[in-house]
Amino acid sequence: MKSHSKLAIIGTVGVPAKYGGFETLAHQLVLKLRNRFQLTVYASKHSYSEEERTPEWEGAKVVYLPLKANGLQSIFYDMLSMLHALLFADVMLVLGVSGCLLLPFLKLFPWIKIIVNVDGLEWRRAKWSGLAKKFLIISEKIAVRFADEIITDNAAIQKYVLDNYGITSRLIEYGADHAQPVPISEKYLEKYPFLKGKYAFKVCRIEPENNIHVVLEAFARNSSLPLVIVGNWDHSEYGKSLRKEYGHLEHLYLLDPIFEPEELNTLRSNCTLYVHGHSAGGTNPSLVEAMYLARPILAFDVVYNRITTQQKALYFSEAADISRVLSALEQYDLAELSATMKRIADKMYLWSRIASLYAEAATSSRRLPKPVFDFELPKNLQRAS
């Protein structure tokens, strides 16, 4: 493929990134690939003020659409982006499958290469209703069948795509080196007194699949290590009920979302233990960021998390497992665990590596070798039906 191909990035809220994994991916791809491609990123007008809407950002063209990039409107947002990209693009990088019903039509334009990142098997997430799940399953099937190349961000999802569709996907994880350690400053000590001592930390959406209830149950019983969780507690009845049940405990700090990077990184880069409860998805951004920040990891025991941490973290399946770790915390070599997480992140989760792999996906025509896996998928990752 000729140099400086025209690459359209579709399926994010936009750039510069404000919040979200795909937004950070698009943000970093622009910074790393702007000298190799003519980049266009689609953005939602609803997420950027009039002053923020610039026709270009860091060398990439930005096209604003009058639709929301999330929820039901995301289907039409992605489709409209694809139709617009037909006018100029050599390559479309589609992040997520919600708009992929349009892919059979796009195959009428064979000179455009279509790459789809299928994300973390979105249809498995508990938040979706039965109808939404069916739609996402259909979208996934169409994406895998009609895309020229499929990207998966975790070997477990790569195996799922191979086992269920017979397609070899390109494995590209997620970067983390945008997350930088921040020393504790006086202004944050006043706001967050727990920074003076040891504490555990977790940042996530407050959803059942992130096992907030399990984590809170365990830490509520053991006050030796304060727990700080940053998340959208008021977004659901699940979050509201947990905050009502546990929010009165003095060693539990249930904080609202923090969007300022310096403030968030102050809290997570100085924690004694990072707790990762995600049970769905692939290579999770918050996990690799904590690894890059050299935090000891206590992760929910699912195949995705074991692959991301290369089996070197601590793991839990229920509240009793967390309680055992907390009661014996001084017996663990947390410094060595931190160093191990950092070594893995420095090798695997750098944006320079990730961007280079995306560039290869956009330009390569070689056939991918069939991967060999040394693990089995759990039963809940059977063929989507």
Give yes or no: residues 134 and 23 share one domain: yes
Q: Does the residue 180 lie in any domain?
A: no
- Does the predicted model carry a pTM greater than 0.75? yes
Angle, vertex CA 355, rays to CA 302 and CA 107, nearest 5 = 90
* pLDDT per position as a tens digit, 11-59: 999 999 987 899 999 999 999 999 999 999 999 999 999 999 999 999 9
Residues 6+ apart with CB under 8 A from 96: 11, 22, 74, 78, 117, 118, 119, 122
Give yes or no: residues 293 and 318 share one domain: yes
Give yes or no: residues 118 and 203 share one domain: no
Give yes or no: residues 325 and 197 share one domain: yes
Give yes or no: residues 313 and 356 share one domain: no
Give yes or no: residues 200 and 234 share one domain: yes
CATH classification of the domain holding 165: 3.40.50.2000
The answer to whether the beta carbons of residues 276 and 304 sit under 8 Å apart is: no
Rounded to 5 degrees, φ, ψ at 308 are: -60, -40
Alpha carbons 69 and 108: distance in angstroms, whole number: 26
Give yes or no: residues 162 and 239 share one domain: no
Give yes or no: residues 77 and 114 share one domain: yes
Q: Does the residue 130 lie in any domain?
A: yes
Q: Which 3 state secondary structure label does DSSP give 45?
A: helix
Alpha carbons 312 and 199: distance in angstroms, whole number: 21
Q: How many domains would you assign to the chain? A: 2
The residue segments making up the domain with residue 101 are 5-175+350-368
Q: Does the residue 374 lie in any domain?
A: no
The answer to whether the beta carbons of residues 151 and 116 sit under 8 Å apart is: yes
Q: Does the residue 236 lie in any domain?
A: yes
Q: Does the residue 163 lie in any domain?
A: yes
Angle, vertex CA 361, rays to CA 165 and CA 204, nearest 5 = 75
pLDDT by residue, tens only, the chain of 385 residues: 445 799 999 999 999 998 789 999 999 999 999 999 999 999 999 999 999 999 999 999 999 999 999 888 999 999 999 999 999 999 999 999 989 999 999 999 999 999 999 986 665 666 666 787 788 889 999 999 999 999 999 999 999 999 999 999 999 999 999 999 999 999 999 999 999 999 999 999 999 999 999 999 999 999 999 999 999 999 999 999 999 999 999 999 999 999 888 999 999 999 999 999 999 889 999 999 999 999 999 999 999 999 999 999 999 999 999 999 999 999 999 999 999 999 999 999 999 999 999 999 999 988 888 998 988 887 767 655 4
The answer to whether the beta carbons of residues 307 and 330 sit under 8 Å apart is: no
The answer to whether the beta carbons of residues 290 and 341 sit under 8 Å apart is: yes
Q: Report the residue count for the chain.
A: 385
Place of tokens 């936009």: 14
The answer to whether the beta carbons of residues 157 and 118 sit under 8 Å apart is: yes
Give yes or no: residues 211 and 304 share one domain: yes
Give yes or no: residues 228 and 97 share one domain: no
Give yes or no: residues 70 and 168 share one domain: yes
In whole angstroms, what separates CA 5 from the centre of its chain? 27
Q: Does the residue 379 lie in any domain?
A: no
Q: Does the residue 129 lie in any domain?
A: yes
Rounded to a whole number of angstroms, the CA Rg of the chain reads 21
Q: Rounded to whole angstroms, what are the CA distances from 229 to 103, 129, 156, 204, 245?
A: 40, 27, 27, 8, 14
Give yes or no: residues 27 and 160 share one domain: yes
Alpha carbons 60 and 39: distance in angstroms, whole number: 5
Alpha carbons 31 and 216: distance in angstroms, whole number: 39
Q: Does the residue 285 lie in any domain?
A: yes
